[in-house]
Structure 1
Amino acid sequence: MVATQAGSLNSTLNDVVWKPFSQLTHQKVRTTRWSDLTDANYSLLRSGKQNWSLVLIEDDDAETGCTEGLFLPFPATASESSNADPARCGVPALSLDYALSWDSSRFGNTPTWRDFWDVARHPGKRGLRADPRITLEIALLADGVPRDAIYNVLGSPTGLDRAFRRLAQLRPYIVWWTSPAEAMHILTKGAALMSVTPTSEIAAANAGLPTPRFRNLWFPLLRVNYDWVIPANGSRDLTSALALATWAAASQQQSALNAQLITPAPEWAQPRVGVLPPAFPLNVDFWRRNLPAIKTRFDQWLSQH
């Protein structure tokens, strides 16, 4: 059993990773949905009351869970990548780029992050992730902080206060989501005028339409890297879990996945001169050190507003 995100990501994983594995080994891969390391999922992992062989998780969560004994160390042969987690509890799985997204049938222009916050000029709800990661980076981008200074600012008490103040300005208009599938659902159902959505979900939604209507702001993109981990507790066949993880983490599967998930910017989004800058990766070391304290504050802020 593999625990992964819902939405088009699950379909892509099935086509690119699990079907070829099943054809090669004659072992059926079953999947179940989960939404990151929530309190409920943390309890499941700690108690062992699950039968997950593999879990798809953000890379900083993989490191944190490893130090807490939630995940098993991988043997060095489980990954071809030199970017595997230092503690060897996670092997690289895939990446998703998150962008400001909108329905062009409702909003004809190309908005900026300042427009995202400007509900006076552009009335309507806004979709944001119910997690400090991605959300606080975006709050600072909207407040004019250059992307290469984000973590210097966010790492100071005054900078963190600044991010929360900016977020508070938008609070009455926010529709919160907890998974890529939910982020896309907010747009397709018209629950928000703009949202933060993986570019792969936008591409998948447009592929099913006669005329593509969902668009992304292609700069800046926020890149989140994900790992495969094996729960330390639970009922699963460890040998099969390692075989599945080794297959999923192989460079061939990673390349094929990212070719599907890291969608290139369309011609209309390309600059007249030069090229678009690369996606802005979330800082794993920053969040590994600071997530517990910042998430506690974020959750308290959510409950009080």
Structure 2
Amino acid sequence: MNASRLKPRPGSIATALAFALLPTAAFAADTLSVVTFGGAYETAAENAWFKPFTAKTGTSFSTESYDGGLAKLQAMEQARNPTWDLVDMETNDAINACDEGLIEKLDPKMLGKTGDFLPGSLLDCSVAAMVWSTVYAYDTTRFKAPPTTIADFFDLAKFPGKRGMRKSPKAALEWALMADGVAPHDVYKVLATPDGVNRAFKKLDTIKSSIVWWDAGSQAPQLLADGAVVMTQAYNGRIDAAVHDDKKPFRIVWDGQVYDYEWWAVPTGAKHADQAKKFIAFSAQPQAYADLSRYIAYAPPRKDSIPLIDKARLADLPTAPANFKHALQIDATFWADNADAIDKRFQTWLTQ
């Protein structure tokens, strides 16, 4: 990454707007314990948000990474000993964590005006940090005629070689149905039936022997770089960082992208909950969201952020019109209701 891109801009609109909303009393120089999905996103968050917040308040950050899920939060709640102050969550986890009382309710008034937030980007207990997408990418040096559709990912005859996939049914089942001819707007209607789930697993069977599974997002571009796979499911920001920062010859296929929000939440009883909420208010301002897109190709969940992003950068984002033609928004309610049952079947399927 170019060093000049890492310097937070002094006097940015993000800082001015965010802290106009916060109390004027001096902040304590606390350390916020933050858990994220790590990798390129954590680096981007550090440069767009953590460093400017530290410069303004004296609050520092201690970070660790995880692969999602609620097990650790549930254990902290049972022990009445939360060690995290701020947690980065996927949508179905944010919904379930709120329902279970694992994360605190957030007052939207702390954000100032909220009329420009995208639909569904504010929940009772969490605020969207960005819009990200599950896509697939390939090494341009491996194919003369490149793949262009989600069906191509499942076509071993036309595009032979190993495929990288996250070891999770989420997005995998949606992809399987779209590759099998289901239109994006019908995916969850089909997946809500036993026959639809069977159809998705049957399609996954066609490439099962060629799948290399990964757990952490950083593994996807590494598998591609190592030549272990010819194409891989990945988070769009990880591939964009590999292309722009590491100069890798990768290309994203946007057809069939599954997009979602990612969320900031504060664990119930967090030791520095007030400061964590002030950080969320800071990072959720239009300029702060735009600043994140400078470091990683994730889109802002506020409309007022769009004019603040360079036009060339907008083309790299999941929500760019050319990339969004056949996109599917993940149905977080479906996964919140069905994740346990489907994951059990997925784990059994892996061993068969």
The alignment's TM-score, normalised by the length of structure 2, stands at 0.76
Superposed CA offset, 1:77-103 (max 9, x none): 2445454544x1111111212212111
**Letter of the structure 2 residue corresponding to residue 103 of structure 1:** D
- Number of equivalenced pairs: 296
Superposed CA offset, 1:276-303 (max 9, x none): 527421112222222222222222322x
The secondary structure found in structure 2 opposite 1:196 is strand
Partner of 2:223: 186
The secondary structure found in structure 2 opposite 1:192 is coil
Residue of 49, 66, 78 corresponding to 2:98: 66
Cα distance, 1:226–1:70 mapped onto 2, change above 3 Å: same
In structure 2, what is the Cα distance between the partners aligned to 1:121 and 1:84? 39
Residue of 202, 208, 220 corresponding to 1:165: 202
The secondary structure found in structure 2 opposite 1:132 is coil
Cα distance, 1:38–1:101 mapped onto 2, change above 3 Å: farther
In structure 1, what is the Cα distance between the partners aligned to 2:162 and 2:76? 33
Cα distance, 1:58–1:276 mapped onto 2, change above 3 Å: closer
Partner of 1:89: 125
CA contact (8 A) 1:78 1:249 kept: no
- Structure 2 regions of 5+ residues with no counterpart? 1-32, 299-312
1:253 aligned onto 2:285: no
CA contact (8 A) 1:110 1:217 kept: no
Cα distance, 1:281–1:275 mapped onto 2, change above 3 Å: closer
Q: CA deviation at 1:20?
A: 0.9
**Letter of the structure 1 residue corresponding to residue 89 of structure 2:** I
Superposed CA offset, 1:24-55 (max 9, x none): 11211221111111645654565455521111
Superposed CA offset, 1:109-140 (max 9, x none): 32132222222343321111212211111111
Residue of 263, 281, 285 corresponding to 2:329: 281
- Structure 1 regions of 5+ residues with no counterpart? none
The alignment's TM-score, normalised by the length of structure 1, stands at 0.87
**Letter of the structure 1 residue corresponding to residue 286 of structure 2:** S
In structure 1, what is the Cα distance between the partners aligned to 2:89 and 2:335? 14
> Which of structure 1's runs of 4+ aligned residues deviate more than 4 A?
38-42, 263-266
CA contact (8 A) 1:79 1:91 kept: no
Partner of 1:140: 177
Q: CA deviation at 1:179?
A: 2.8
Q: CA deviation at 1:15?
A: 0.8
The secondary structure found in structure 1 opposite 2:232 is strand
1:199 aligned onto 2:247: no
Percent of pairs identical after alignment?
29
In structure 2, what is the Cα distance between the partners aligned to 1:64 and 1:149? 24
Cα distance, 1:184–1:100 mapped onto 2, change above 3 Å: same
In structure 2, what is the Cα distance between the partners aligned to 1:291 and 1:276? 26
The secondary structure found in structure 1 opposite 2:254 is coil
In structure 2, what is the Cα distance between the partners aligned to 1:127 and 1:67? 33
Equivalences for residues 28-107 of structure 1 within 5 A: 28-37=60-69, 39=71, 42-44=74-76, 46-47=78-79, 51-80=83-112, 81=114, 83-86=120-123, 88-107=124-143
**Letter of the structure 2 residue corresponding to residue 76 of structure 1:** P
Tell me the C-alpha RMSD between the 2 structures.
2.5
Cα distance, 1:178–1:48 mapped onto 2, change above 3 Å: farther
Specify the structure having the higher radius of gyration (Cα): 2
Does 279-288 or 65-74 show the bigger shift? 279-288
1:299 aligned onto 2:347: yes
